[in-house]
Each structure stands twice: as structure tokens, then as C-alpha cells.
């Protein structure tokens, strides 16, 4: 969704083709490093959607908010959150025991774009 100069993208999944590449919970079916790879893929998918919507990533002036939700098992929750939070930067990393469709980490991004006058 775009409002003014802000573009909001939610539900950016770690998918390749038509299916989820990383399913399961970090600490159960997936290790922390695989969770990080899933978050990276979801971020790349978000960039692809932004490029498709805006026509070019050159129109993005900054990322305003970036976040990832992580499905974890209780025994690795803190370690997984700390490692993935360092990836997220200016955002947040809430944990959950499950996320719909068995996806380990959907992302959300809010970015600011140049207006049509290039300002």
C-alpha cells in the first residue's frame, strides 16, 4: 500500500517460485542460521515487490521501518531473536510459537520514495 511518499509492504515471505522455501520454527525444524537465510530471502522479495511497484529502487530514499516476525521454539527464542534483530536494524523482531502457513519469518517494510518531481 502506498500513501503519499510512503510505501508499506507486509507479509513478505521467504519464497522461491510459488512456495515457501523455509517452513517450520527456528530451534525446532530450522536452526538459527537457516532462519537468518529465510529473513534475507524475505527481504530480497520485499525489494523485488518495491521495485515492481515503483519502477526502480532508485526511487527509494530510505527504509523507514523494517521488521521480521520469527516462529521459534521456546529453547532458542532469545538467541534467535537477538541474531535476527541485528539483521533487522531499525525495526523489531517479535517472536511467536507459530505463524500462519508454517512460515518461519515474514517481513514487513516501510520505505520512503521520492515524489514525482524528484525531491
The DSSP code sequence of the chain is -EETTEEEEEEE--EETTEESSBS-BTTTB-HHHHHHHHHHHHHHHHHHHHHHHS-GGGEEEEEEEEE-EEB-GGGHHHHHHHHHHHH-SEE--EES--GGGBS--EEEEEEE--TT--
| Residue 93 pLDDT level (bands cut at 50, 70, 90) | low
Average pLDDT across the chain, whole number: 75
Q: Provide the pLDDT confidence category of residue 97 given band limits of 50, 70 and 90.
A: low
Q: Give the residue extent of every domain in the chain.
A: 2-113
Supply the pLDDT for residue 56.
Answer: 93
**Topology (CATH) of 2-113:** 60s Ribosomal Protein L30; Chain: A; (3.30.1330)
Say which residue, 95 or 53, is predicted with more confidence: 53
Whether 49 has a pLDDT exceeding 60, the answer reads yes
Amino acid at each position: 500500500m502506498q500513501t503519499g511518499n510512503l510505501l508499506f509492504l507486509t507479509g513478505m515471505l521467504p519464497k522461491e517460485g510459488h512456495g515457501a522455501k523455509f517452513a517450520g520454527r527456528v530451534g525446532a525444524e530450522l536452526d538459527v542460521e537457516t532462519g537468518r537465510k529465510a529473513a534475507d530471502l524475505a527481504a530480497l522479495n520485499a525489494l523485488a515487490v518495491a521495485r515492481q511497484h515503483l519502477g526502480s529502487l532508485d526511487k527509494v530514499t530510505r527504509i523507514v521501518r523494517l521488521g521480521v516476525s520469527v516462529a521459534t521454539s521456546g529453547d532458542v527464542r532469545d538467541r534467535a531473536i537477538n541474531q535476527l534483530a541485528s539483521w533487522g536494524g531499525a525495526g523489531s523482531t517479535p517472536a511467536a510459537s507459530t505463524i500462519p502457513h508454517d512460515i518461519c519469518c515474514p517481513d514487513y517494510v516501510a520505505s520512503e520514495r521520492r515524489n514525482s518531481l524528484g525531491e
